[in-house]
Structure 1
Amino acid sequence: MTLHFSVLASGSTGNAIYVESGNQRFLVDAGLSGKQMDALFAQIGREMKNLSGILVTHEHSDHIKGLGIVARKYKLPIYANEKTWKAMDGLIGEIPVEQKFTFDMETVKTFGNLDIESFGVSHDAAEPMFYVFHQDGKKLVLITDTGYVSDRMKGIISDADAYVFESNHDVQMLRMGRYPWNIKRRILGDYGHVSNEDAALAMSEVIGDKTKRIYLAHLSLDNNMKDLARMSVAQTLESRGVVIGEQVDLYDTDAKIPTDLTAV
């Protein structure tokens, strides 16, 4: 049985990632409309009605916009920690009690042959957390929406086969851009988002012998570009001895186009 995933959508306008292992099929976040989510699933040859559940990272709208709609429509279980459930109250409509499940931070839940591990990140949400998927020695890490990558996080995410890793902004583009200063300060702060360079520095410390693929995710629409993110990350990684194209491959993600459904 193989672990597969697709970054359905990633960016400041909406986020959703699909992960499957055999008949275990999970959506991480549902930050687009129900109609958009259905269309994204169709593009990778899957249907939301077959999901085992939805894992929530945090309550910001670009991660939960379509959550209530799709969960009710397809009667899907939702997993989130208690603080996130409280923060989502009033944002996703009524969810039947039989569809509400608690997934505490820093715990592991097992679904068939798939182990899903949660870990905390540093972001201005109630209790934001992301996920590591473990299956038969394979390891897939999802980490975005964090102002920095702590040593604790690095320990949890180290030596994965594949990463979906935040590369949110270019610092100069952000500083020179149109955002008001309070927004710039939030993004640059410890509870904001990591820059291309900071993401690459963290990557260089967690990449292991198994690591083959890194997907650059949650790029800012206004303060980053795919080519710039890829170039900045590649330069930083290569300056620290990681050979791009031989040791590790870098991949783009998109706000509207899913990545191919790929084996980890």
Structure 2
Amino acid sequence: MTLKFSVLASGSTGNAIYIETEEHAFLVDAGLSGKHMEGLLQQIERKPDQLDGILVTHEHSDHIKGVGVLARKYKLPIYANEKTWQAMSPLIGEIPTDLKFIFPTESVRSFKGLDIESFGVSHDAAEPMFYIFHHNGKKLVVITDTGYVSNRMIGTIENADYYIFESNHDVEMLRMGKYPWNIKRRILSDIGHVSNEDAAMAMSECIGDNTKGIYLAHLSKDNNMKELARMSVGQVLESRGFVVGEQVSLYDTDPKIPTVLKAI
């Protein structure tokens, strides 16, 4: 009885995560074209027609680009909260009523041994939320777009077995980079994205006895690098008493290449 997952794509160009149990399979977001999504699933030897649905986090295009196409082509249910539905409906095209499901923030939906819990985050979208997957005593947390991590969020997501956690930017790279100031200000704000250091500080509060690994996700193409994210997060965790590589492992994600299907 295992929970498996793969970060299919992660970054500003598109985001999608695949999660399965013996009986169910879901995507969290589908932020690339339908054809691209099919190719990513093929790389982990899975097919869209095996999916039980798509769980949407928020309406930004790098999270919903392929949602409408996949839902119509493969008759996949879409789950999102009411405000996200209102915001994304004009962007994803017509969806048959029988494929539209409301998944309220701060609620749980159960699918034969798989409990999916939603929780709110701080991001500049209608009502952004992310998901925790509970299966057979194991816990997987997905949180990739938030300007900060509140104590309430930490209480909800603490002591998971694995995290797919935003590590968006290096603050100095962002400050010195080519983005206009209004974009920089948005990213640095409480409704933007967390930096490597802020992510690490939050992770240090979340890690518990069950925690084995953290996938560093949604890295900025222009304001971060995998090696830098791993080093920055690792240094903060080490400074707070965690032995990185033994106690907890750090994993890269990629905008184009899925991570190896991981069993918890």
- How many angstroms does 1:154 deviate by? 0.2
- The answer for the alignment partner of 1:52 in structure 2 is 52
State the TM-score, normalized to the length of structure 2: 1.00
Q: What is the SS of the residue equivalent to 2:36? A: helix
1:103 pairs with 2:103 = yes
Supply the AA of the counterpart residue of 1:243: V
- The answer for the alignment partner of 1:248 in structure 2 is 248
- The answer for the alignment partner of 2:184 in structure 1 is 184
- How many angstroms does 1:136 deviate by? 1.1
- How many angstroms does 1:6 deviate by? 0.2
CA distance in 1, matches of 2:75, 2:144: 27
Q: What is the SS of the residue equivalent to 1:27? A: strand
Structure 1: unaligned runs, 5 residues or longer: none
- The answer for the alignment partner of 2:82 in structure 1 is 82
- The answer for the alignment partner of 2:37 in structure 1 is 37
1:69 pairs with 2:69 = yes
Query: Could you give the per-residue CA deviations for residues 186-213 of structure 1, whole angstroms, max 9, x where no partner exists?
Result: 0000000000000000000000001001
CA distance in 2, matches of 1:103, 1:47: 24
- How many angstroms does 1:245 deviate by? 0.8
Query: Could you give the per-residue CA deviations for residues 144-167 of structure 1, whole angstroms, max 9, x where no partner exists?
Result: 110000000000000000000000
- How many angstroms does 1:49 deviate by? 0.6
- How many angstroms does 1:32 deviate by? 0.2
Q: What is the SS of the residue equivalent to 1:159? A: coil
- The answer for the alignment partner of 2:173 in structure 1 is 173
Supply the AA of the counterpart residue of 1:188: L
- The answer for the alignment partner of 1:262 in structure 2 is 262
Q: What is the SS of the residue equivalent to 2:174? A: helix
Supply the AA of the counterpart residue of 1:2: T
1:200 pairs with 2:200 = yes
CA distance in 2, matches of 1:70, 1:252: 27
* % same residue: 75
Supply the AA of the counterpart residue of 1:158: E
1:23-34 → structure 2 map (5 Å cutoff): 23-34=23-34
CA distance in 2, matches of 1:240, 1:27: 34
CA distance in 2, matches of 1:28, 1:152: 22
- The answer for the alignment partner of 1:94 in structure 2 is 94
CA distance in 2, matches of 1:211, 1:149: 18
Supply the AA of the counterpart residue of 1:77: P
Query: What is the aligned length?
Result: 264
1:18 pairs with 2:18 = yes
CA distance in 2, matches of 1:116, 1:155: 16
Q: What is the SS of the residue equivalent to 1:124? A: coil
1:231 pairs with 2:224 = no
- How many angstroms does 1:18 deviate by? 0.3
Supply the AA of the counterpart residue of 2:201: L
Structure 2: unaligned runs, 5 residues or longer: none
- The answer for the alignment partner of 1:122 in structure 2 is 122
- How many angstroms does 1:23 deviate by? 1.7
Q: What is the SS of the residue equivalent to 1:214? A: strand
CA distance in 2, matches of 1:9, 1:53: 18
Supply the AA of the counterpart residue of 2:261: L
CA distance in 2, matches of 1:21, 1:88: 28
1:216 pairs with 2:182 = no
**Deviating 4+ runs (over 3 angstroms):** none
Supply the AA of the counterpart residue of 1:122: S
